[in-house]
């Protein structure tokens, strides 16, 4: 059951606001019919298996795929070509998974929500950069409609920024027959001390001063601040669920303009994702060593990665990995 179905006054008002947003938006170009897989919560490794399943399904069906998801427990997700060295400890309080896209580690707990779009390579996008710019623009539009004013897309860093700070970050994979973009949106402020205990957070020397990823994470903007006035009395997990439902519906409309078929992760779909889980994403050989890497027959490009290259060490946090020093200075306080 959706969180929107059992909360009354505040959510009714939010729903009315959302309907107003829909009516007031300009229609951007629509290039695909979509299959929508909902806003769900799964185990981290199953979520990563679902990503490859949707990449393949886009090629097989000719339809674009879209979904939103959360993790059932705190997880550290490492990049396709990354070693496991940023993980400070394995203490059983969080999971570790490896994704199919490049970049570096991210701590994914209930305070984040992920978005995924996979499309067939049918000529609608000229290249990876074209697709990234298109969907980043739609996500940025949604963030503006949610109440943010200073919203900028940085396609070189693969981020969307509010007031010069990262509110969303995404990564891509460009396959032979299909492509996928997925990313994370900050819903609530990070518990930075917990993140710092679990994963390595880097620092930079810029102009004689030290700027830390710890500080940059403390300064992240969050969607919840934009929606505070609509549901101030909703607390805890219910509040997070409400906001995620609201935001995912806003994103769904902005991206699909309601041209989608609702799908469910069950039966045959679950079986195909489970096959990917048991053979790849759920195995320690994949998580620790990226056993069974992609081949050129499957994938043309993972930005910044070699398909079978040596795993990289000493990478910074995913949100800031491609952020230039001049911009990072604005995101973090000098120490």
* pLDDT confidence of residue 238: 78
CA distance 183 to 116: 7
3-class SS letters over 257-309 = CCCEEECCCCHHHHHHHHHHHHHHHCCHHHHHHCCCCCCCCCEEECCCCCCCC
Q: pLDDT grade, residue 239 (50/70/90)?
A: confident
Among 189-198, 222-231, 232-241, the minimum mean pLDDT is found in 232-241
Residue 2 has pLDDT above 70, yes or no: no
Q: Report the chain's mean pLDDT, rounded to a whole number.
A: 91
Decide: 226 and 246 in contact? Cβ < 8 Å. Answer: no
> pTM here?
0.92
Q: Which two tokens stand for residue 166?
A: 């990262």
Residue 207 has pLDDT above 50, yes or no: yes
Q: pLDDT grade, residue 324 (50/70/90)?
A: very high
CA distance 69 to 91: 25
Q: Which two tokens stand for residue 257?
A: 């303009």
Question: Once rounded to an integer, what is the mean pLDDT over residues 218-245?
Answer: 81
CA distance 52 to 277: 10
The separation between the first and the last C-alpha atoms of the chain, rounded to the nearest angstrom, is 46
- Homologous superfamily of domain range 3-331: Bira Bifunctional Protein; Domain 2 (3.30.930.10)
CA distance 24 to 22: 6
CB under 8 Å to 262, separation ≥6 — which residues? 36, 38
Q: What are the residue ranges of helices labelled H in 210-265?
A: 213-218, 223-227, 236-256
CA angle 209, 214, 217 (to 5 degrees): 115
pLDDT tens digits, 273-314: 999 999 999 999 999 999 999 999 999 999 999 999 999 999
* pLDDT confidence of residue 229: 66
Give the rounded percent of residues in the chain with a pLDDT score beyond 90.
79
Residue 197 has pLDDT above 50, yes or no: yes
What are the extents of the domains in the chain?
A: 3-331
Q: Which of 216, 212, 236 is nearest to 224 (CA)?
A: 236
* pLDDT confidence of residue 9: 47
* pLDDT confidence of residue 333: 79
CA distance 241 to 195: 22
- Greatest alpha-carbon pair distance for the chain in Å reads 58
Inter-CA distances, 304 with 49, 90, 127, 159, Å: 21, 28, 15, 15
pLDDT tens digits, 111-163: 999 999 999 999 999 999 999 999 999 999 999 988 898 999 999 999 999 99
* pLDDT confidence of residue 29: 65
Q: pLDDT grade, residue 6 (50/70/90)?
A: very low
* pLDDT confidence of residue 7: 45
pLDDT tens digits, 154-184: 999 999 999 999 999 999 999 999 999 999 9
Q: Which two tokens stand for residue 181?
A: 């973009």
CA angle 286, 166, 240 (to 5 degrees): 80
Decide: 120 and 178 in contact? Cβ < 8 Å. Answer: yes
Question: Once rounded to an integer, what is the mean pLDDT over residues 63-76?
Answer: 98
Q: Which two tokens stand for residue 148?
A: 């943010």
Strand arrangement of the beta sheet that strand 95-98 belongs to: 95-98, 75-78, 106-108
Decide: 38 and 265 in contact? Cβ < 8 Å. Answer: yes
Decide: 67 and 260 in contact? Cβ < 8 Å. Answer: no
Residue 335 has pLDDT above 80, yes or no: no
């Amino acid at each position: 059951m959706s969180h929107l179905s059992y909360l009354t006054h505040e959510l009714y008002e939010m729903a009315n606001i959302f309907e107003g947003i829909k009516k007031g938006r300009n229609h951007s170009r629509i290039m695909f019919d979509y299959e929508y897989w909902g806003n769900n919560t799964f185990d981290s490794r199953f979520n990563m298996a679902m990503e490859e399943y949707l990449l393949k399904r886009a090629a097989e069906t000719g339809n674009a795929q879209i979904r939103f998801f959360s993790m059932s427990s705190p997880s550290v997700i490492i990049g396709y070509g990354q070693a496991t060295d940023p993980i400070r400890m394995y203490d059983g309080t969080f999971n570790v998974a490896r994704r199919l896209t490049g970049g570096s580690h991210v701590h994914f707990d209930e305070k984040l929500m992920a978005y995924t779009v996979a499309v067939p390579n049918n000529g609608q996008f000229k290249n990876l950069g074209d697709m990234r710019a298109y969907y980043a623009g739609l996500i940025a539009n949604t963030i503006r409609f949610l109440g943010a004013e200073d919203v900028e897309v940085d396609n070189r860093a693969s981020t969307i920024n509010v007031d010069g700070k990262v509110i969303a970050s995404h990564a891509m994979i460009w396959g032979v027959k299909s492509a996928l973009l997925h990313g994370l949106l900050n819903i609530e402020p990070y518990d930075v001390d917990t993140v710092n205990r679990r994963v390595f957070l880097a620092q930079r020397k810029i102009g004689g001063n030290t700027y830390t990823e710890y500080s940059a994470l403390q300064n992240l903007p969050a969607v919840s601040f934009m929606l505070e006035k609509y549901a101030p009395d909703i607390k805890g997990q219910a509040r997070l669920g409400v906001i995620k439902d609201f935001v995912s519906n806003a994103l769904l409309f902005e991206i699909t303009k309601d041209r989608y078929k609702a799908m469910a992760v069950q039966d045959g779909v679950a079986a195909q994702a489970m096959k990917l889980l048991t053979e790849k994403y759920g195995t320690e050989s994949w998580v620790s060593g990226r056993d069974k890497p992609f081949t050129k027959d499957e994938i043309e490009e993972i930005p910044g990665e070699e398909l079978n290259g040596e795993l990289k060490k000493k990478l910074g946090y995913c949100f800031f990995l491609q952020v230039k020093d001049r911009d990072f200075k604005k995101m973090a306080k000098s120490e």
